[in-house]
Structure 1
Amino acid sequence: MALRHAVLAALVDGEYSGYQLAKAFDIGVANFWHALPQQLYAELAKLEREGLIAGRQVVQETRPNKRLFHVTDAGFAELEAFATATSKPSFIRDDLLVKIHAADRIDSGTLIEQLTDRASAAEAKTALLDSLLVKMRGALDEDEFLRSGTRIGPYLTCLRGLAFEREHRDWCLRTAAVLRERGAARTEQRSVRTEEGGTARAES
Structure 2
Amino acid sequence: MRAIHNPAARGFALVGAVAAAGLLLSACGSDGSTNGMDHGGATPSATASSSSSSSSSSSTGAFNDADVMFAQMMIPHHEQALEMAKLADGRAEDPEIKKLVGEIERAQDPEIQKMKSWLKAWGKPESAGHGGHGMAGMVSDTDMADLAAAKGQEFDRKFAELMIAHHEGAVEMAKTEQKDGSDAAAKKAADDVVRTQAAEIAQLKKILKRL
**Which TM-score band applies after superposition, normalised by the shorter structure?**
0.3 to 0.5
Q: Which has the larger radius of gyration?
A: 2
Higher relative contact order (CA 8 A, sep 6+): 2
More strand by share: 1
> Normalising by the residue count of structure 2, what TM-score does the alignment of the two structures yield?
0.33
